[in-house]
Amino acid sequence: MKETREVTYKCGHIRPRKVDLDNLEEGLAYYLNKNCPSCAFKERHAAEYSATPEERAAEATKAAAWCAANGCCKLVGSEKQVAWAESIRYKFISANVADLQKLVDDGASQEILDKANALINERKNNSDVKWWINRRWSKAMLHDVAALTE
């Protein structure tokens, strides 16, 4: 039988969870060995959470410089949104540009290279800060140029 109990996670947070009363000890031990969902999320994105405002500003400046030097369009939005979106598109576009270089080095077909360039240019011309911010955790977008060969 399952019942909702207050369980304690490794991080110390207590959350209601359905536990199997026939295996109560095991169930409680399971939660004691892992972080709660919000701590686990923060851990996965530690870099974003541990950065100080100064570090984030420095990152945004670096991202803006890279984007400008690599032909990305000007972003449209509030100053804060633009700085945030700048870091996000830098992360995605620079990863895809690096993957494109690998495709070139590996002798990918012209068709693949054209597709990769089209995809990267489309991103470079996307000035919509909300579009970027909404996709900030996307894993697929980091490597969709590399995925063109799959």
Between residues 5 and 124, which has the closer beta carbon with respect to Zn ion? 5
CA distances from 48 to 36, 41, 98, 136 (A): 18, 11, 22, 11
Segment near Zn ion (CB under 5 A), from 9-17, 49-57, 110-118, 126-134? Answer: 9-17
Kindly tell me which of 13 and 135 has the beta carbon lying closer to Zn ion: 13
Nearest approach in angstroms of CB 39 to Zn ion is 3
Q: In angstroms, give the least distance from the CB of 120 to Zn ion.
A: 38
Least Å distance between CB 36 and Zn ion? 3
Burial of 126 (0-12, 13-18, 19+ CB in 10 A): middle
Q: Which residue has the tokens 């945030």?
A: 84
- Which distant-in-sequence residues (6+ apart) come within 8 Å of 51 by Cβ? 59
Interface residues for Zn ion in 13-72 (CB under 5 A)?
13, 36, 39
